[in-house]
Structure 1
Amino acid sequence: MTAPLLVIGEALVDIVAPAKPRNGNGKANATPGGSPANVAVGLARLGVPTELVTRFGTDPYGDQLGAHLFGNGVQLAPGSVDPHFRTSTATASLNAAGVATYQFDITWEPPALSLSRGCPAVHTGSIATVLEPGASAIRAFLESIADQPVTVTLDPNARPSITPDPVSTWAAVRELAALSDLVKLSDEDCEFLCPGLLPVEIAKELLTAERTQCVVITRGGEGALGVSRETQVEVAAPTIEVVDTVGAGDSFMSALIAGLEQRGLLGETRLAGLTGDDLRDVVDYAVKAAAITCTRQGADPPTADEHAAQWGS
């Protein structure tokens, strides 16, 4: 790569209250998070040079975020650390199965967005794509790079507590998806955004956009579905003991992008040449990355070495 992959979106601190004590005292744990930030860390841990455009403060939570991102090799774009900005938080409550629900205290206004020469891909998603004023800035940026030799990936990561109207949220997702080469959804996203439609029906609807080449839908413990115009693959999830699901979808997203990068499918190719075997392999790689995260507390994506040690190369 001649330039790092670009990730745009929120970085925040997850305040996780376990359903039952795991550390002996049952106290909430504050850990770095935010879907795009998690994806950036996951990519860096998998060996993909990554730059994150975000916004957080220099308060204690911001210091924690900065140390986490720098410590994992994520570059921060200019303006991402702002002493006048209060670092956002997400309070995650876990049920008995370790599944998280969130309440957010967040403000989103990114610094100036630009594309470096040679950048192979841009990833965005989650709250950053629906919360103003940042959402409009991201949409305008993606429109401005529509003719550039760069692959765009999107993970809407629907948050009903922030965007409770599924109709308007789906319209916004469709608009961004049409500017993206790959869209990743979860089964929960599908149920919220398009109740009554099967995941494969939603995927095929998104694939009617001229640019969109691939849609991947995660299904929790059942694995994931990958759909392109030419093929459809289903990948089962391995059997694991779940600690919690915090950050699992983000680990999946980062591994999906990393798998595509390893196959030379990013950049100006924009997924051209993606075969059914490629799609199955990258989805399988991503499912297994997410599985590792589910065996650990909080958003803790695996390194390339950890993935290889657990599942083989």
Structure 2
Amino acid sequence: MYDVVAVGEVLIDFSVVSSGGMPQMFGSAGGAPANVLAAVCKLGGRCRMVAGVGDDPFGDFVRRALKAVGIDDSGVIQVGARTTLAFVHIAPDGERSFSFERDPGADTQIQAEHMRSSWFDDAKVVHFGSLALSHEPARSAAYRALELARQHQRVVTFDVNYRPALWADPRAAVDQALRVIALSDVVKCSEEELHLLTGLRHPDEALLQLAREFPGTRFLGTLGRDGSLAVMQGQCRHIPSISVEAVDTTAAGDAFFGALLYQLTREAEPGDVRARLQDDVFWTKALRFANTAGAIAATRRGAIDALPTLSDILEHMPA
């Protein structure tokens, strides 16, 4: 079986950095769902990508990059639009902001009729990103994929991954995210996304509110250098991270989620994966592992190239 099948965007990430006062760009394959799969594969998992790319050199490059890290690209569809480009602007402290060349980008043009039931029948986990929800027909395609994943009783994971540049109205992003959250087993939110979804300023309060509203969902909050949060037995628990000097946080959240999904699916049958959803001991250990993966990724530039190997993580994990 495939450990993780991801549905969403795969694109070209251009990192924009300043060198001697002059901006320079470095391009690589990216897109949050693709990065998550790459993280799983680099740790030893087996993955498939479902996405739209253009019939252009960038689309060809993306597919080669997916294959190079072991991702099955049989679900990557060539559509009648150019491959989406993302420009990641890196600040001196490693934090980033985004702009996009996506009018309409190929990632938005995959359609519901492209979705094949067989893509989800042999997956332990089906993972979704939020960018597909911002435009049709990709939104309908994502909901069709979600329907198929639920039909096959697969564990569904969701990264809220809010990008303001892609939404005309933040309320629309919230509405779409809440719709998917209601059908998800595991959801990851950043501090900013927790505030967007709940209006609450304190991440722990926001996470607890979401857990009360969606009692069947496991919510995780990422705090950057401060680690992560999870709701366990009705309380919000903080899992600290290791200390690093960040140079580029582009891949940190995806490294975190990929490492988490690797732990969730490692040496497990589908029934085992679902049982682990309720195991707080598992989540405590898995979040320490995921925090370490995210921290390591933040010390490297780029997206897929920044993702750590298993030996990287085990070497840096706290005792």
TM-score, normalised relative to structure 2: 0.88
Deviation at 1:147, TM superposition (A): 4.2
Question: Is the contact between residue 149 and residue 269 of structure 1 (CA under 8 Å) also seen in structure 2?
Answer: no
Deviation at 1:267, TM superposition (A): 4.8
Mapped partners of 1:165, 1:84: distance in 2 = 27
1:198 aligns with 2:195: no
Partner of residue 5, structure 2: 6
1:29 aligns with 2:26: yes
After superposition, where does 1:211-222 map in structure 2 within 5 Å?
212-222=216-226
After superposition, where does 1:104-119 map in structure 2 within 5 Å?
104-106=100-102, 107=105, 108-110=108-110, 112-113=114-115, 114=117, 115-119=119-123
Partner of residue 230, structure 2: 226
Partner of residue 40, structure 2: 43
Return 171-180 or 102-111, whichever deviates more. 102-111
Match of 2:281 among 258, 277, 284: 277
Partner of residue 305, structure 1: 311
After superposition, where does 1:1-313 map in structure 2 within 5 Å?
2-20=1-19, 27-78=24-75, 80-82=76-78, 84-106=80-102, 107=105, 108-110=108-110, 112-113=114-115, 114=117, 115-208=119-212, 212-262=216-266, 264=268, 267=271, 270-271=274-275, 274-299=278-303, 300-311=306-317
Partner of 1:37, secondary structure, is helix
Question: Is the contact between residue 98 and residue 242 of structure 1 (CA under 8 Å) also seen in structure 2?
Answer: yes
Q: Report how many aligned residue pairs link the two structures.
A: 309
Deviation at 1:225, TM superposition (A): 0.3
TM-score, normalised relative to structure 1: 0.89
Question: Is the contact between residue 259 and residue 282 of structure 1 (CA under 8 Å) also seen in structure 2?
Answer: yes
Once superposed, what is the RMSD of the aligned Cα atoms? Answer: 2.5
Distance 1:225 1:185, change over 3 A: same
Partner of 2:81, secondary structure, is coil
Mapped partners of 2:129, 2:220: distance in 1 = 14
**Structure 2: 5+ residue runs without aligned partners?**
none
Amino acid at match of 2:67: F
Mapped partners of 1:180, 1:273: distance in 2 = 12
Deviation at 1:296, TM superposition (A): 0.5
More helix by percentage: 2
Partner of 2:61, secondary structure, is helix
Deviation at 1:266, TM superposition (A): 5.1
